[in-house]
């Protein structure tokens, strides 16, 4: 679906590239200051996990002084994939830092360029701590739409943002350009790693060349929810922290079966734009 809008921050060349290829890379979209609230939310979650592991006798040290990029990896270094997956393959906590990130004008401006200024933040957002050598790190080839196959929403745009530099060693994204026009392919649940990710068979991938997308922290990759993509395992010694956020026009299915999203931007009804308090109370817009 090609969309041309008059608002937003992307250049015509970037919009044309997205419409043609199904994705666009925005280097250094966010600064360290932009990332800080969400990173603090991640650190808070790691504090909680470290405390639980310590209380359970699974670790002898909560590693409170270790750097953000290493701490979670070192906490689970001598534990199992099952110990890690107890906390889920992705996190969807309602910590204020995530709302501030999802509401960041730089992100909304970029998305507005592609689908207009009436923006709904989809309830399917995730924090992804890709742990070295843990099964949850490798994400098989899939289309995001396989997670909401019955939803009447198109397009849904994924905004993928790394919080550390993402490269081919720690498991950056790989995408098959120009696959955004495909129908939703028949998918299956991955059964080997215990993650339950949706997955496609190699025979479904076609001949479109794969493009690896290494990007630096604070960059963003925007792509259509039908684009085929995957990421490889983390073979480094650090956590490959990232978030995947999603946005769609406000006149589409809000997918309440997946949670409560929120009105992120509206020129027609700015008074309804959700506040932090609304989001924490699971209200989709301001009353």
Q: State yes or no: pLDDT of 157 exceeds 70.
A: yes
Percent of the chain with pLDDT over 70: 96
Domain ranges for the chain, please list them.
12-280
Average pLDDT for 228-257: 95
Structure tokens at 259: 């949670």
- pLDDT for 50 equals 98
Q: What DSSP letter does each residue of 8-48 carry, written as one string?
A: SS--HHHHHHHHHHSEEEETT-S-HHHHHHHHHHHHHHHHH
Q: State yes or no: pLDDT of 6 exceeds 60.
A: no
pTM comes to 0.94
In tens, the pLDDT along 118-136 reads 999 999 999 999 999 776 6
* CATH number for the segment(s) 12-280: 2.60.120.620
Q: Give the relative orientation of helices 105-115 and 12-21 as an angle to the nearest 10 degrees.
A: 70
Inter-residue contact 3 to 116 (CB < 8 Å): yes
How does residue 193 score in pLDDT terms, banded at 50, 70 and 90? low
In tens, the pLDDT along 26-42 reads 999 999 999 999 999 99
- pLDDT for 138 equals 84
How does residue 5 score in pLDDT terms, banded at 50, 70 and 90? very low
């Amino acid at each position: 679906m090609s969309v041309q809008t008059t608002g937003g921050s992307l250049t015509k060349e970037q919009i044309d590239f997205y419409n043609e290829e199904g994705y666009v890379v925005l280097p250094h979209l966010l600064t360290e200051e932009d990332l800080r609230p969400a990173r603090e939310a991640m650190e808070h979650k790691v504090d909680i996990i470290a405390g639980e592991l310590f209380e359970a006798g699974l670790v002898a040290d909560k590693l409170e002084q270790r750097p953000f990029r290493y701490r979670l990896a070192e906490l689970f270094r001598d534990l199992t994939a099952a110990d890690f997956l107890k906390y889920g393959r992705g996190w969807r906590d309602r910590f204020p830092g995530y709302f501030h990130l999802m509401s960041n004008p730089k992100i909304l401006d970029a998305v507005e360029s592609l689908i207009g200024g009436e923006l709904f933040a989809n309830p399917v957002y995730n924090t992804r701590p890709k742990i070295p050598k843990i099964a949850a790190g490798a994400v098989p080839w899939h289309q995001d739409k396989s997670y909401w196959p019955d939803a009447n929403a198109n397009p849904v745009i994924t905004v993928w943002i790394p919080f550390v530099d993402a490269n081919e060693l720690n498991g950056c994204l790989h995408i098959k350009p120009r696959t955004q026009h495909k129908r939703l392919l028949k998918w299956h649940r991955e059964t080997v790693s215990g993650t339950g990710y949706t997955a496609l068979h190699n025979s479904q991938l076609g001949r479109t060349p794969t493009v690896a997308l290494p990007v630096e922290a604070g960059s963003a990759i925007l792509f259509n929810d039908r684009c085929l993509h995957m990421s490889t395992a983390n073979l480094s010694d650090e956590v490959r922290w990232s978030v995947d956020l999603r946005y769609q026009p406000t006149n589409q299915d809000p997918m309440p079966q997946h949670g409560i999203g929120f009105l992120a931007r509206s020129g027609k009804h700015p008074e309804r734009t959700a506040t932090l308090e609304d989001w924490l109370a699971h209200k989709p817009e301001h009353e």
